[in-house]
A and B are shown apart, each in its own frame.
Chain A
Amino acid sequence: GAVVSQHPSRVICKSGTSVKIECRSLDFQATTMFWYRQFPKQSLMLMATSNEGSKATYEQGVEKDKFLINHASLTLSTLTVTSAHPEDSSFYICSAHPRTALGTDTQYFGPGTRLTVL
């Protein structure tokens, strides 16, 4: 149980294009999904928190117009990197907090999406 998928696992795009990453909770409903970014040999950086049906909450320094988050259902959240540039190249990881885990704070992570912007 508690499986989270991400698609695509790897994407290479040209500078200036937009890339959409999907995060799905496969066997549970997620009240909250989180988006992280991780640069090589660095720690996880929380980008934003999204709750189903409401606007995402972005961490300080993360541009909400550049990183668009849509949490359309209890099992799907998407991150769109708009007008991507080489400095956006990173490992993007989502995680989900199960609805049944109310009262705990467990997060289950997706496998990540490696984005390379040329």
Chain B
Amino acid sequence: QKEVEQNSGPLSVPEGAIASLNCTYSDRVSQSFFWYRQYSGKSPELIMSIYSNGDKEDGRFTAQLNKASQYVSLLIRDSQPSDSATYLCAVNDPYGGSQGNLIFGKGTKLSVKP
């Protein structure tokens, strides 16, 4: 059973704090990892992709990947109320029939309080 696990939350942080979102995945063969942001009533929007162990930074966002632990995380620095959304972790399905097949977690709801 291929699984991507996320804490459903809600995760509540004060404005300006660091929000830390975590994700674990079951298939060791997976090679591509993504974080999507989904506002209520909207479709997911790609924030970050990461393929190698370590950290990848893009503005206020840092994705961290540890393949040995099958763990990927997203840090949001200087959190803003506009960051309040559901964050979806996605991992490639190495056995999917087509390029681009992803397995999505159920998402973590983040609430940034002013």
Contacts and interface: CB of A to CB of B under 8 A. Distances in A.
A57 B97 contact: yes
A112 B92 contact: no
B92 A105 contact: yes
B104 interface: yes
B45 interface: yes
A107 interface: yes
Given A109-B43, A110-B43, A43 B105 contact: yes
Given A43-B104, A104-B49, A93 B43 contact: yes
B42 A105 contact: no
B100 A105 contact: yes
B100 A106 contact: yes
A112 B100 contact: no
Contacts of A91: 41
Contacts of B90: 107
A104 B46 CA distance: 14
A97 B42 contact: no
A51 B98 contact: yes
A57 B98 contact: yes
A51 B107 CA distance: 27
Contacts of A49: 96-98, 101
B98 A97 contact: yes
Interface in B90-111: 90, 92, 96-102, 104-107
B107 A43 contact: yes
A81 B46 CA distance: 27
Contacts of A43: 88, 104-107
A43 B103 CA distance: 11
Contacts of B70: none
A104 B52 CA distance: 12
Interface of B: 32, 34, 36, 41-46, 49, 51, 88, 90, 92, 96-102, 104-107
19 contacts: A31-B100, A34-B100, A42-B106, A43-B106, A44-B104, A49-B98, A49-B101, A57-B97, A97-B99, A101-B99, A104-B32, A104-B49, A106-B32, A106-B100, A107-B90, A107-B100, A109-B36, A110-B43, A111-B42
Nearest 10 Cβ contacts at the A-B interface: A97-B100, A43-B106, A105-B92, A112-B43, A105-B32, A32-B98, A109-B43, A93-B43, A32-B100, A109-B44
